Structure 1
Amino acid sequence: MKGSTFVRWGRTSCDGTKSSLVYTGFMTGPTHTARGSGSNYLCLSSNPQTKSFPADWNTAPGHLYGIGWELTGIDRSKSSNHVDDKDVPCAVCLTKGKTSLMIPGRTSCYAGWTHEYTGFLVSVRTESGFASTEYVCADADPESQGSTNYNQGIISFVEVRCGSIPCSKYRNKTKLSCVVCSK
């Protein structure tokens, strides 16, 4: 089947009418308190396969950690709060289109594009003071994976800071929505 893949962060399924599941896994990446190693998030498969490495390849390794929801400052009466301080699942999806695109600051796709899912922009907290990570679109109706988050790596909502970003279009300190589209 031709198409492209995208990761649905915060969910264990794809929309079966527009995309199909390749695999499910765990959101992983750098710890929020260290420097070095990778800076992007990975959807690590729930069904790992390993290969033995030669003993002479024993070098200083990079580290990969599970990522957990860190949703401080939110209204605890909302339904999505059941994921706070729990691990983030992910699903790798194959879209029947040719390409996929995450658009920050929108909830709908532009004309000619197919909606895959809507969510909220997340990354590591700015105040962590250490690792920088990529921005990803976490599903607006998130699930959790497991029951405990060890705070090795965490994600939080991303807010706009006006200045070079025009306040006439974006309100200062507003959390950003996002949408994943395919074409």
Structure 2
Amino acid sequence: MAILFIFILVSLTLVNCQTDSDNYVGSTGNCKDMLQGFINGQLASALGSLQLENLRKEFQRSLDDKDSEIKELRRETESLKTTIEEGFAGGSYFTNKGAAAEPLCLPPDPEWGLHTESADNTRGYVYGAEYEFSTLTDSRKNLHEHDVPCAVCRVKQRSVVITIPARKSCYPGWYQEYTGYLVAGYHGHEAATQYTCIDVNPIGIPNSQGDQNGKLFYPVESRCGSLPCPPYVNGRELTCVVCSI
């Protein structure tokens, strides 16, 4: 179609050149130059359009191939994950001075060894955990004072798992297990706590809302000073991501 269009235009130009040469002495050379320039321009335009279309198709094929690779990688990554245990998050009471810092994931089917039935004041204690999200303004606020579920997972063919605070994505070369928000105990409470990365879409144990306390999970925000701002922002809640390699 493009070649036919160029041929018609060239024919019209030749007619005009012939007419001009009959009326003006010395006009033939200028007409040839004009015709040559016209032909070169049209051919360049046609070839350019063809090359552009080929590049567009090649780019789309590249995108399709990359999308397929990403989907396959996700399928392979998901197949490597195995849930070992699902249960209830717990830990020490938030005001206990001798509290254990780390949270626990307690199974729904405990097995008992030697034990006594009565409570004893000379022991360490384990309580359930609650979200303390009353100050949030997003949907997570609805989980305030709900009990916290948990899961322990195993990732095959990975030797290292790390939690990176203040990131929502892993650095190149690492696989993302999940992303979420950083939580810990309230800074004014006596019990020691650890930073924990909870899922970006946390859930609560159904029908568990109630101010029972125990191990408490509060949002964690950055505070400027010894922490440089920027890049950090004073008072902003911190994200987190769990990565493996």
Asked if TM exceeds 0.5, the reply is: yes
Q: What is aligned with 2:149?
A: 89
Per-residue deviation, residues 47-68 of structure 1 (Å, max 9, x unmatched): 11110148xxx88110111110
Q: Work out whether 1:102 is the aligned partner of 2:163.
A: yes
Q: Work out whether 1:176 is the aligned partner of 2:231.
A: no
Query: Greater CA radius of gyration, 1 or 2?
Result: 2
Per-residue deviation, residues 108-138 of structure 1 (Å, max 9, x unmatched): 001111011011000011133x112000001
Q: Work out whether 1:117 is the aligned partner of 2:178.
A: yes
Post-superposition offset of 1:81:
3.2
Give the gaps of 5 or more residues in structure 1.
Answer: 1-14
Give the gaps of 5 or more residues in structure 2.
Answer: 1-76
Per-residue deviation, residues 85-116 of structure 1 (Å, max 9, x unmatched): 11011000001212211000100001111011
Aligned equivalents of 1:16, 1:67: Cα separation in 2? 28
Q: Work out whether 1:28 is the aligned partner of 2:114.
A: no
Aligned equivalents of 1:81, 1:157: Cα separation in 2? 11
The aligned amino acid for 2:195 is Y
Aligned equivalents of 1:17, 1:158: Cα separation in 2? 32
The aligned amino acid for 1:93 is C
The structure-2 alpha-carbon separation of the partners of 1:173 and 1:79, relative to structure 1 and needing over 3 Å to count, comes to closer
Given that 2:165 and 2:239 are in contact with CA atoms closer than 8 Å, whether structure 1 keeps it comes out as yes
Q: Which has the higher helix share?
A: 2
Given that 2:91 and 2:126 are in contact with CA atoms closer than 8 Å, whether structure 1 keeps it comes out as yes
When normalised by structure 1's length, the TM-score is 0.83
When normalised by structure 2's length, the TM-score is 0.63
Q: What is aligned with 1:66?
A: 128
Structure 1 stretches of at least 4 aligned residues deviating more than 2 Å after TM superposition: 15-18, 78-82
Aligned equivalents of 2:99, 2:233: Cα separation in 1? 34
Q: 2:196 aligns with which of 136, 141, 149?
A: 136
Given that 1:18 and 1:116 are in contact with CA atoms closer than 8 Å, whether structure 2 keeps it comes out as no
Indicate the SS of the match to 1:132: coil
Aligned equivalents of 1:64, 1:41: Cα separation in 2? 9
The structure-2 alpha-carbon separation of the partners of 1:59 and 1:171, relative to structure 1 and needing over 3 Å to count, comes to closer
Given that 2:135 and 2:141 are in contact with CA atoms closer than 8 Å, whether structure 1 keeps it comes out as no
The structure-2 alpha-carbon separation of the partners of 1:112 and 1:156, relative to structure 1 and needing over 3 Å to count, comes to same
Q: Which has the higher strand share?
A: 1
